[in-house]
Amino acid sequence: MKILGVDYGKKRIGLAWVDIDLGVVLPYGTVETEADLFTLIIREKINRVVLGLPLALSGEDTPWTKTVRLLARRIVQETRVPVDLFDERFSSALADNLGGSVGRDEKAAMVILTDYLERRKR
């Protein structure tokens, strides 16, 4: 089972993925457009998408939250792949503390996907 973690930004869409059999979250680059994202999901035979949900520190929706919820629906419509929305608060800050040579967007997607998998274990 392949799961794609997505950090949906205004400039870029950061990606990370995990094959559950391998159990290691890896960076997967960035794409520029939603169409590129849909194509990648289909081409790579992704089984589930974990999309970071941008909530305010209070836990309430932000203006960007509505956009991300719409994207989740479009992913399902365009690819027929299920989407889980996952609270992404602090993912960018945590990503900034990660070492390595990959970009912030990919690191944020890795944090989102790693946290999602950890929560599923509990």
Between 31 and 57, the more confident residue is: 31
Residues ≥6 apart with Cβ < 8 Å to 51:
6, 8, 68, 71, 72, 75, 83, 84, 85, 86
DSSP characters for 11-61? S-EEEEEEETTT---EEEEEESSHHHHHHHHHHTT-SEEEEEE-B-TTS-B
**pLDDT digits 0-9 by tens, 31-45:** 999 999 999 999 999
Categorize the per-residue pLDDT at 7 as very low, low, confident or very high, splitting at 50, 70 and 90: very high
Nearest to 91 by CA among 61, 49, 53, 118: 53
Average pLDDT, the chain: 91
Task: Identify how many contiguous H helices and E strands the chain contains and give both numbers.
Answer: 4, 5
- The predicted structure's pLDDT at residue 52: 96
- The predicted structure's pLDDT at residue 98: 72
Helix (H) or strand (E) holding 102: none
Between 91 and 113, the more confident residue is: 113
**The whole model's pTM is what?**
0.90
**pLDDT digits 0-9 by tens, 58-105:** 888 999 999 999 999 999 999 999 999 999 876 666 666 676 778 888
CATH number of 2-121: 3.30.420.140
In a 3-state reduction of DSSP, which class is residue 118? helix
- The predicted structure's pLDDT at residue 93: 63
CB count, 10 Å around CB of 19? 13
